[in-house]
Amino acid sequence: MPFDIHNTYSLLALMEEITPVPSFFRDRYFPTGAGDLFSTDAVVTEFRKGSRKMAAFVAPRIGDIPVERGGYEINTYKPPKIAPSRLLTIDDLASKGFGEMPYAGFTPEQRAARLVLDDLTDLERRIQFREEWMAAQVILTNGFSGAAMADEDTQADTYAIQFYNGMSSDHLYTVNPVWSTFALMRADVAAMANDLTDRGLPAEDLIIGTDVAAALLAFSDLPNLVNKTSGIITGEIDAKLSQYPGVVYLGDLNFDGHVLHVFVPRETYTADNGTTTAYFPAKGAAVTAPGAGRMLYASVTQIPRGGDNFVTISAKRVPKLVVDDDNEVRKLRVTSKPLPMPKQMNPWIYAANVV
């Protein structure tokens, strides 16, 4: 069957060919697995409280001791809708495209097909930036909130999603005093890691902001502790770029037995007000583990081009081509309904203003 750019499933297949750029917070801490694509516009989530309760000894002639089920919560969330689009006009087809050789001889039809892939790639990246922001916010605040827009300038509604009960989240840790030596840092990070492991949750990564990384490297008591001839093995500082663009892997450090991978995110995004903003605060620190969360996706319902009935599609991205025949304008839209959430209750500990 020939490729038809007006067909939603052809566009879905085309999107599968787009090579995703690795994202630190989304990919490392909120992977999407089997069962994370829902066939409804709402997602049902459940997460348990960590536990380290031992099995009891059983007296002779007693068959067994019943064990209660661990506490868990079930909630239903309606993920926010992300739907960037791009118009294609006759003027776009008449002008040379980016990276296209002058006098390449492309017809408007050939240029239109090429622009579809370019536009799908660009819209995919814009959605990915939003997902990365959402994932970072869940680690920082145990939820996220924002404004739902009717158009580029008009706010239609607001939304707020939180993964805790009450006015504040138990994942927050307060540092006092701020870190001026590695000894102070070690005590607090060890306490943050112990908070996780005491609840049966893993503690493998330490995420620190750029100011915290600069302070860490300047601590006067650190060089002797990472000196392999000192007899005290605290770890190794060997800064290098990680597999995630904009993220530095600083090395592994030992915090009272917790050997943590230390990452420094330098990623930024352009906020809705046009300012360049860091995903992770410069003075913040968080302890967690890879795969502590998951990224869920609600389904998208739309009327395909040429159809009369609504169709529901379960996918991370759902493209659609809309044609305005009267004005000779074509619009390409990609819709996604992601929801980053924890697998367990409070699987990360975050501290603000640590230096």
pLDDT at 80 over 60: yes
Domain count, the chain: 1
Name the most confidently modeled range: 42-51, 79-88, 133-142, 309-318. Answer: 133-142
Note the pLDDT of residue 32.
95
Percent of the chain scored above 70 by pLDDT? 80
Identify whether 62 is part of a domain: no
pLDDT of residue 287: 98
Q: Which residue has the tokens 């890879």?
A: 290
- In this prediction, residue 57 has a pLDDT band, given cuts at 50, 70 and 90, of very low
- CA dihedral for 10, 16, 21, 26, sign (positive or negative): positive
Q: 164: how many CB neighbours lie within 10 A of its CB?
A: 17
Residue of 285, 283, 287 lying closest to 355 (CA atoms): 283
Cβ pair 170, 350 in contact under 8 A: no
- Render 142-159 in DSSP notation, one character per residue: SEEEEEEESSSS-EEEEE
Q: Do 306 and 6 touch, CB atoms closer than 8 A?
A: yes
Cα–Cα distance, 198 to 51 (Å, whole number): 8
Residue 343 domain flag: yes
Is residue 2 in some structural domain? no
What pTM does this model have?
A: 0.85
Domain-located, residue 56: no
* CB-based contact 345:135 (threshold 8 Å): no
CATH of the domain at 203: 3.15.30.10
Query: Which carries the bigger pLDDT value, residue 13 or residue 120?
Result: 120
Tell which residue, 94, 119, 91, 120, has the closest CA to residue 107. 94
Q: Does the pLDDT value for residue 153 go beyond 70?
A: no
pLDDT digit string (tens) for 91-125? 665 555 555 544 455 666 676 777 788 889 999 99
Share of the chain above pLDDT 90, in %: 51
**Residue 210: which domain range?**
8-49+71-351
d(CA 269, CA 277): 5
Interval 299-316: pLDDT, tens: 999 988 777 789 999 999
